[in-house]
Amino acid sequence: MVRPLILLFFLVSAFITVPSPVRSEIFTESGLVDIPTGNVLKHSIFGAGTYIAFQHPSENTSPTNGNNTLGDAVAVRLNFGLLDRVEIGLTHVWNEYGSEPSTERTGNLKVQLLKEQEVGAIPSVAIGIENIGDKLLPWDSEAEKDDIPSAFLAISKTFNLPRIHQFSGHIGMGTQRFALEESPIGLFVGLSKEFQPAFARGDITTSLEFDGTGVNAGMRYITPSGLQVALGAETLNNPDELRYLAVVSWTNEQMLEQIKETRRLATRATELVVEAKRAITQRKSANKTTETPSPQ
């Protein structure tokens, strides 16, 4: 199964050769700021929400001129996992590129080939395609370069070092939005670190990445209820194209974990009650045997 999927990835990559501006899925549940990782959502886990991206005003770039390659955007999205190996995403985006605002509906598909174990050297590896729209075929003469999907291969590994403790490294290659300048394919890398401070009452993840075009940074906060709030910035290395990001979404992962833990505690409580009843019954039987007089 792995070999056909890898072959499919390279076949798609061979057709997709036109670079395009940065267009991405921002702060997905299994990704960083806007690069994918080797992880996917678990089966029946989903994330739903909205994100806003807006350009930092500068003298050289404004939402009304042609130099605005990133622009402002508002989107609603839904990502969900299947079979612990497949992740599917649906997004509706309102974009403002230059003086021509537009809307689009796109899909994303990610398949995990390898899953990292708690102990071992094998990383998580996934392949996928982003920006799957109405004009999927790259040889379509009517398709704009921004409508062509981006294929990628992503690898993630968790490390445990003294003082730093656990952090995750991510590396991959992809086409389209990951491509560097005129090259048809490019590399992306990222680092992420998760914190669980007592004052936050939730998980905080910080990340730093290079997506093939620019350097991005972000911070994500997930509450025990599953509410996710994230803030980030794209293209820190180019102030003229600096873009700010804000995300609010919700995932059912924490809720399902709580349900699972509640069931585990209920099962354990039932086992303790059964063990207690068995112990009482055995004690009563022992007392009766002791009190029964022996025959003359």
Task: Report domain extents, the chain.
Answer: 2-251
Element (H, E) at 253: helix 253-291
pLDDT of residue 291: 62
The answer to whether the CB of 157 falls within 8 A of the CB of 124 is yes
pLDDT of residue 274: 86
Q: How far apart are CA 146 and CA 235, in angstroms?
A: 18
pLDDT of residue 161: 79
Averaged in consecutive runs of 10 residues, what is the pLDDT profile of the chain (296 residues)? 40 33 68 92 91 72 44 84 92 71 84 85 92 55 61 92 82 88 87 84 90 90 90 88 89 84 88 86 75 57
Place of tokens 């039987």: 285
pLDDT of residue 284: 76
pLDDT of residue 20: 35
98: left (phi over 0), alpha (psi -120 to 50) or beta: left
Element (H, E) at 281: helix 253-291
pLDDT of residue 8: 38
pTM, full prediction: 0.72
For residue 10, give both structure tokens: 């390279």
Residue 248's alpha-carbon distances to 47, 50, 63, 251, 275, in angstroms, are 10, 6, 24, 10, 47
Question: Cα-Cα-Cα-Cα dihedral of 133, 21, 36, 232, to 10°?
Answer: -120
Place of tokens 């921004």: 146
For residue 253, give both structure tokens: 């992962």
Q: Which fold has domain 2-251?
A: Porin (2.40.160)
